[in-house]
């Protein structure tokens, strides 16, 4: 497995790093949070990201994309993670776009992907429900037959960027019981469709989430995404790719938190010397560095396994998510601890990384969930 980057990949990462450095800052993240911004991100920056081609990285050239892999997208996400940028890459490109690219009909792809790649269309995937925890197959939302189509009834929670999405992809049960794997179908519909209600919420790190309800929402036969009753087979790989993308973002976040901490250790003095010269703190910093490098290897392995359609890819994804959840929390917790009292204040930026680490940890499954999944997949 080749972990090194070629020239094009190196240039892509450098351009993403420069973009984050020049156009985003934690001051902007703080302002978005404090103002309870209506969108929760910058549409101007989103459009610039589209013009740079980042929104089209994983999509086929026939729809205006670059036809590259998750490894290339991960390089961009890692840099965005360093700046904690809240622009909807995860919800629109990886979740919504991933579902359309993988399971959409030719007409659905042609209608959605070019607009997504241009930055003109936002998507959200509504799959999680109360008490479903991380089980993709626990779906109580029902799609009842109505003529040639269906009517949706139910509620989805923690729909990332659901309040700004132009179109929603919804998992609903078209057959079977609430916990059955079979009998799930994905539907594509407008956020403003009749019977759709959206209540905006915020995650603990200030990012967008929403409660989305469906009260007899009509969907046509052509709105089904993929095969009817076989949505689980589509949903699982989409979530795996999104999880690997989130891991790349988390890798960037833990690096930034560690860099901020190292800078403080080198400049904060006690007894006339930098506190970073104390051996106890050196040892703790060395542990964080080691865990970050292990996380980096896990993220690259997962992205490459998914790009190659490796049968072991789901295991690699769970290994990466468990590793990143632990490493990001360690880097953020140690960052706050080593900053001392100022690290506990909202005025200091290190706390933003701890909040992001906590929110990302439980998105798509925490470390315990993914360790159990890894063990199950390996037949332990």
- Each residue's pLDDT tens digit, 153-204: 999 999 999 999 999 999 999 999 999 999 999 999 999 999 999 999 999 9
Question: How far apart, in whole angstroms, are the C-alpha atoms of residue 84 and residue 93?
Answer: 17
φ/ψ bin of 36: left (φ > 0), alpha (ψ from -120 to 50), beta (otherwise): left
User: How many residues appear in the chain?
Assistant: 380
Give the C-alpha separation, 275 to 268, whole Å.
Answer: 6
Question: What separation in angstroms does the CA of 108 have from each of 183, 198, 272, 350?
Answer: 22, 23, 66, 43
If you search the block for the tokens 């794997």, which residue do you land on?
181
The answer to whether 40 touches 203, Cβ cutoff 8 Å, is: no
What are the beta bridge partners of residue 274?
Answer: 269
Q: How many CB atoms lie within 10 A of CB 316?
A: 23
* Amino acid 1: pLDDT: 57
Extract the tokens encoding 198.
Answer: 């959206």
Residue 280 and residue 257: Cα distance in Å, rounded? Answer: 19
Tell me how far the alpha carbon of residue 201 is from its chain's centroid: 17
Q: 320 near 74, Cβ under 8 Å?
A: no
Residue 62 CB neighbours (<10 A): 12
Spatial separation of the C-alpha atoms in residues 187 and 228, rounded to whole Å: 9
The DSSP result for 200-236, as a single string, is EEE-TTS-EEEEEEEEEEEE-GGGEESSTTBHHHHHH
pLDDT given at position 273: 95
Phi then psi for residue 247, to 5 deg, are -60, -40
- Residues of the chain short of pLDDT 70, as ranges, are 1-3
143 near 187, Cβ under 8 Å?
yes
Give the ranges where the chain is alpha helix by DSSP (H).
Answer: 7-23, 26-34, 43-51, 70-82, 97-103, 106-118, 231-267, 279-307, 313-338, 350-361, 367-377
Q: Which of 260, 278, 256, 261 shows the shortest CA–CA distance to 269?
A: 278
């Amino acid at each position: 497995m080749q972990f090194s980057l070629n020239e094009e990949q190196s240039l892509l990462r450098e351009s993403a790093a420069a973009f984050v450095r020049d156009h985003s800052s934690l001051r902007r993240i703080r302002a978005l949070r404090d103002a309870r911004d209506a969108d929760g991100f910058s549409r101007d920056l989103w459009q610039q990201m589209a013009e740079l081609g980042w929104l089209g990285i994983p999509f086929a050239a026939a729809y205006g994309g670059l036809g590259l892999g998750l490894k290339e997208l991960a390089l961009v996400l890692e840099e965005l993670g360093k700046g904690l940028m809240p622009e909807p890459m995860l919800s629109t490109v990886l979740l919504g776009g991933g579902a359309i690219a993988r399971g959409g009909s030719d007409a659905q792809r042609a209608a959605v992907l070019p607009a997504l790649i241009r930055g003109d269309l936002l998507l959200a995937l509504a799959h999680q429900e109360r008490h479903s925890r991380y089980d993709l197959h626990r779906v109580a939302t029902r799609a009842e037959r109505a003529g040639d189509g269906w009517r949706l009834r139910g509620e989805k929670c923690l729909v990332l960027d659901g309040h700004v999405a132009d179109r929603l992809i919804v998992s609903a049960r078209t057959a079977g019981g609430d916990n059955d794997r079979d009998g799930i179908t994905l539907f594509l519909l407008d956020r403003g469709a009749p019977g759709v209600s959206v209540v905006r919420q915020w995650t603990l790190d200030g990012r967008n989430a929403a409660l989305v309800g469906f009260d007899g929402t009509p969907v046509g036969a052509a709105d089904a995404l993929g095969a009817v009753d076989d949505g689980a087979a589509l949903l699982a790989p989409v979530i795996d790719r999104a999880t690997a993308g989130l891991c790349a973002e988390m890798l960037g976040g833990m690096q930034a938190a560690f860099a901020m901490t190292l800078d403080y250790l080198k400049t904060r003095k006690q007894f006339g010397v930098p506190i970073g010269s104390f051996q106890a703190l050196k040892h703790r910093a060395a542990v964080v560095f080691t865990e970050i490098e292990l996380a980096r290897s896990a993220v690259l392995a997962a992205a490459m396994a998914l790009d190659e359609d490796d049968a072991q890819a789901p295991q690699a994804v769970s290994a990466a998510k468990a590793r990143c959840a632990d490493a990001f929390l360690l880097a953020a917790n140690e960052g706050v601890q080593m900053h001392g009292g100022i690290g506990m204040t909202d005025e200091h930026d290190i706390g933003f990384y701890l909040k992001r680490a906590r929110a990302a940890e439980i998105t798509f499954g925490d470390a315990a969930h993914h360790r159990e999944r890894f063990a199950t997949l390996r037949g332990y």
